[in-house]
Structure 1
Amino acid sequence: MKSTITSFVMCLLLCVSSTVFAQLNTPRGSQMASVMQRVGTTDITITYSRPSVNDREVWGKLVPYGMNNLGFGTAETSPWRAGANENTTITFTHDAKVEGKDIAAGTYGLHINVKDENNATIILSKDKDAWGSYFYDPANDALRADVKLEDINHTELLTYDFAEVTANSATAALKWEKKAIPFKIEVDVAEIVMDDIRAQFKGQKGFTRQNWEQAANFALNNGGDLDEALSWVNAALEGQFFSQKTFNGLAIKAQILQKKGDMEGFRKTMDEAVTMANPNQINRIGYAMIAAKDFDRAIKYLSMNVESDPKNANWHDSLGEAYKAKGENKTAIKHFKKSLALDPPANVKANSEKNLKELGAM
């Protein structure tokens, strides 16, 4: 019996011990948060905990200036953890630049050395898993960048946001109390997308014509290699089992040739494209020819729409612009007046009237 009681007591003690030391999921004083911004195809994510001001003096007090001995951990001196609780982290899904300095794709501990009320240094550490800045080691620094603090309206909860976003960059900012600490992140969107396209073309996505057209169009409009773009659109048009000549493919090819300075190839390809075009597409390439100052081709293309649909006010208005651009004002006036006689929609009416006034015919 004694053995049985002893066994029971030991079992009870083990159960009690497990219960005592089990971790309960209770709310924190500084709640966890995360903010993400996409730039091109690159995701930038900051994960942090959000302390409140709570009537405390923050800068220079709660957040002491400079590097400090925090009295715990292995660091002799530490920057601020840029939040509360665990490491604040920042993740880049592709290589990027922070304040003009290269940073490789990955996740980093985000620390800030707040030097004074106007100056700070952003520190990205390869040690992303440490608690706060207690174990900060400068040997793990991946990047340091000096930035300026800015004055802002009162922000009670520490907040990261991306206030400024462009096609190739985003400015992240830590905001707390009456100060903001912004830092600019830049991404080479075109090169990242082009590298991704090249990789995807080795797989299933390389067997679809539309993907080759899309890739060529992206390179054309985003500073890509024009020779590579031309090879991509040519693959979409002919020579592959998925190839097919389409207006869209020919129009992209024409624009690439134009950008390369091959005007003969541009015009020849546009001549082929117009044979596959619907009226709206014909109208667009007519204006493209006006922009290229090939007024005879513009008139030839836009006349096709007028001949097929002579009661369409928009087609007369467009053809009038081609004749006006060429300097044949008498014929231009005729088509603008014809446009107005066909009860045009408001935008077409306004354009025809504007051109007639410019030509002194109203």
Structure 2
Amino acid sequence: MRQMIFLSAILLFHQITNAQIPLTTAPSGGNKKATVAEQVGLTDVTINYSRPGVKGREGKIWGQLVPAGFTDPGFGSSKSAPWRAGANENTIITFSNDVKIEGHHLPAGAYGFFIAYAPDECTLIFSKNSSSWGHYYYNEKEDALRVKVKPVILDKNVEWLKYEFINQAAGSVTVELQWEKLAIPFIIETDYTRDQIASFRKELRSSKGFIWESWNQAAQWCVQNNTNLDEALLWTDSATSINFGGNGVFTPWVTKAMVLEKSGRSQEAEAVMKKALPLGTVIQVHQYGRQLLAQKKPQEAFTIFKANYDKYPNQFTTLVGLTRGYSALGDYKKALKYATQALPLAPDSLNKTSVEAMLQKLKDGKDVNE
């Protein structure tokens, strides 16, 4: 009996030691695992890949180690596979929103990324299958997109393959695979306006939409970018409603007036501002006057500065407001009068220097708002 137990134990130990236990080790071949990511507009672009090294194989990478076109990998179901655009497992590129690759639409999602290399033109392949190992199970029927790009010769050697984000812009970026003395670039574009509005719609339905500030922020963004104005007006209705607490606040009413003005409804905008002005502080009303100046509306700005002065006479801010208002109308004599009164009331050295500069401009016959 003891002998049988002993033999069973030996057999069990032999089975355990010969089993493949999936413990964590360094990647095979010394190929470094890497992740690079960047936000383009509101789209997160993430690339997970493994980094092979040149390791003394200069001149033998492109066209040899990385074969041209499609080849039989000799394993798995694929008989005609492109390069896996890295080492070991799939290179995976993920987009949180829809994008354009070299001008071609690609939906949000995770993609296996492959390259069919050629010296003059490379074919980039985004596969719907991002979970298979390497290129051994590549199937062209799973392609989501193919685009062609020109490889670029580098002036210095890149030992370890890497992906770089270059030429960043508000809604686009160039991704460049670099290895040895070759780069393969491709442009990613996002529809920032579409993504931003979609994000606002989603967030305004969450707990973030329970305060007037959120509705106001979304509407202000639309005004600043001159887009989605009809919906922005509805957002200002929420921002100025009693439900979200903005009905007695100056800022959301100003935003509503700005949306109406942008929509060509100037009379309605004026009516809204008449309602809003009594709610504003001296600084808020002054800043609104400056906004009107920036919009090249000097008469409207002067009316605001004058109303602010009448409510808060002989204060530094309102005196400066009248200085700007009269100057914008070309009445430098009256502007000089109020700037002179404002100077001794300047609350700090920065404001004092600013008024002194205004005084000098007015003496020189120049508009202080220029």
> TM-score band (shorter)?
0.7 to 0.9
Residues matched between the structures, number: 357
Residue 85 of structure 1 is matched in structure 2 by 88
Contact residue 361 and residue 367 of structure 2 kept, 8 A: no
Letter in 2 for 1:297: E
Q: Report the AA paired with residue 197 of structure 1.
A: F
Q: Percent identity?
A: 36
* 1:140-151 equivalence runs, <5 A: 140-151=142-153
Aligned with 2:62 (options 59, 62, 65): 59
CA distance in 1, matches of 2:287, 2:148: 49
Gap runs ≥5 in structure 1: none
C-alpha separation in 1, matches of 2:353 and 2:219: 36
More displaced 10-residue stretch of structure 1: 66-75 or 121-130: 66-75
Q: TM-score, normalised by structure 1?
A: 0.87
* Aligned CA distance change for structure 1 residues 339 and 45 (closer, same or farther; 3 Å): same
Question: In the alignment, which residue of structure 1 is the partner of 2:48?
Answer: 47
Distance 1:333 1:241, change over 3 A: closer
Q: Which residue of 2 aligns with 1:30?
A: 31
The corresponding residue for 1:230 is 233
Aligned to 1:68, the other structure's residue is in SS state coil
Spell out, residue by residue over 1:151-183, the C-alpha distance to the aligned partner (whole angstroms, 9 max, x if none).
333322211122233322222221222222222
- Report the CA distance between 1:201 and its aligned residue: 4.1
Aligned to 2:9: 11
State the distance in 2 between where 1:33 and 1:348 align: 56
Partner SS, residue 124 of structure 2:
strand
Q: Could you tell me which amino acid in structure 1 is paired with residue 122 of structure 2? A: A
Report what 2:162 is aligned to. 159
In 1: Cα distance, 2:226 partner to 2:244 partner: 29
SS of match in other structure, 2:167: strand
**Deviation per residue, 1:305-359 (Å, 9 max, x gap):** 55636362x6544432322221222222333444556564444544553454353
Pairwise CA distance, 1:30: 0.8
C-alpha displacement at 1:293, in angstroms? 4.2
Distance, in Å, in 2 between the alignment partners of 1:79 and 1:180 is 17
Following the alignment from structure 2 to structure 1, what is the Cα–Cα distance between the partners of residues 34 and 359?
56
| Segment drifting more, 175-184 vs 336-345 | 336-345
Matched residue type, 1:100: G
Residue aligned with 1:23, SS: coil
Aligned-pair RMSD on alpha carbons? 2.7
SS of corresponding position for 2:66: coil
Q: How does 1:114-133 map to 2 (within 5 A)?
A: 114-116=117-119, 118-133=120-135
Distance 1:256 1:360, change over 3 A: closer
Say which is worse superposed, 12-21 or 193-202, in terms of deviation: 193-202
Query: By how many angstroms is 1:35 displaced?
Result: 1.3
Structure 2 residues not aligned, in runs of 5+: none
Q: What amino acid maps onto 2:55 in structure 1?
A: N
User: Equivalent residues in 2 for 1:315-354 (5 A)?
Assistant: 315-339=318-342, 344-354=351-361
Structure 1 counterpart of 2:292? 289
- The answer as to whether partners of 2:238 and 2:244 remain within 8 angstroms in 1 is no
User: Which residue in 2 is equivalent to 1:214?
Assistant: 217
Q: Is the 8 A contact 2:211 2:244 kept in 1?
A: no
